[in-house]
Amino acid sequence: MTRDLVLPARRFEVGDVAEIGTSGLARLVAGMQAVLEGLEARRLPDDRDYTCDDLHAYLRSLVAGQRGELSLGERCGHVVAGSWGVNVDCDGMPGDCRVDFVFFPTYLAVATLSRCLLQFPLLAASVDGLVPALRSGLGFACGRQLYGHGYEADEERRRALNLLRMGWVPLLLWQNPDFCPEMNRVLENTPHHDFHVEYEMRQQFALGQERFSRELAERELAARPKVANPEILTRKWELEKERTTEEFAKQMEQLDPKPEPPDDPEGE
């Protein structure tokens, strides 16, 4: 039996389980996973089938499609907003369905946002609301401590951890521990044999960040029309990169402003 080809999602979508069934919801989640796996394998973005514009549109749809607060029944009470549940009505879903169609798509969404924030900061900076959506999504993702449901709880936790690893979430929190303290605690309490967080992510960042930045520049240049003097085009790209990086730094500072120094009564 051959496995169906799963195409990377081009926008975040929800469906009605009454119309498309659980298999239809599973296909929506699989499309989200195909994007993350494509980023991990460095197949995405490319110059033809899934361009930077396609990835940008997908990121925007994730931010726009983030769900509000969900009611998960009397036993579970209410959970915070910030999920990416793929069913139209996620309230009161059974435990196994919550894991498959609320929590796992949320892990995929935050992993994708985190990966793009670190790997493609210029692209991420152009998506309004990406950083606060990522922050609230990470908070929601802590709801089950990454555990699954029933007998598969531990195995599904390892799967969730692997998705976060692919999304460089441990690296993001290592660099910014106050970004989501709840998720930071979840990862810090993970057994070392399950998840080599610090060593693997530091190595991955040190070896890959410069290469990814160079490849993005090369793709950007290759996608633009050729000019008589390629040095002019290169300089224009460098100036654009500097400007966008400064704008991104300003956005981050606005989201996490530094505390004002206390007033000096003696100086008055």
Q: Report the pLDDT value the prediction gives residue 19, as an integer from 0 to 100.
A: 94
pLDDT for position 74: 41
Give the per-residue pLDDT at 149.
Answer: 79
Rg (CA), the chain: 20
**The tokens of 200 are what?**
């693997």
Residue 235's pLDDT is what? 53
Q: Is residue 5 part of a domain?
A: no
Asked whether the CA dihedral 241, 244, 248, 250 is positive or negative, the reply is: positive
* Cα 177 from Cα 181, distance rounded (Å): 6
Evaluate whether residue 115 is within a structural domain: yes
Supply the pLDDT for residue 248: 56
Amino acid (one-letter) located at 63: V
Domain containing 222 equals 17-255
Please tell me the distance from the alpha carbon of residue 206 to that of residue 192, in angstroms, as a whole number. Answer: 21
pLDDT of residue 94: 64
Cα–Cα distance for residue pair 147/150, rounded to 1 Å:
9
pLDDT of residue 266: 53
Q: Is residue 266 part of a domain?
A: no
For the chain, the farthest-separated pair of C-alpha atoms sits apart, in whole angstroms, at 80
- The answer to the question of residue 12 being in a domain is no
Helix or strand run (H / E) with residue 23: helix 17-40
Q: Is 10 part of any domain?
A: no
The pLDDT value recorded for residue 228 is: 41
pLDDT of 175: 82
Q: Give the CA count within 13 Å in the CB-facing half-sphere of 179.
A: 22
Contact of 167 with 36, CB cutoff 8 Å: yes
Question: Which residues does the chain have with pLDDT short of 50?
Answer: 1-2, 72-77, 193-194, 196-199, 202-203, 206-210, 212, 224-230, 233, 267-268
Supply 166's token pair: 């692919």
Residue 261 lies in a domain: no
Distance CA 187, CA 76 (A): 23
Indicate the helix (H) or strand (E) that contains 223: helix 197-223
Distance CA 100, CA 67 (A): 16
**How many contiguous H segments (helices) and E segments (strands) does the chain have?**
11, 2
Q: What is the mean pLDDT of the chain?
A: 77
pLDDT of residue 259: 53
**C-alpha distances in angstroms, 221 versus 55, 217, 224, 225?**
17, 6, 5, 8
Residue (of 160, 157, 140, 147) closest to 67 by Cα position: 140
What is the number of domains present in the chain? 1
The predicted pLDDT at position 225 comes to: 44
What is the pTM for the complete model shown? 0.73
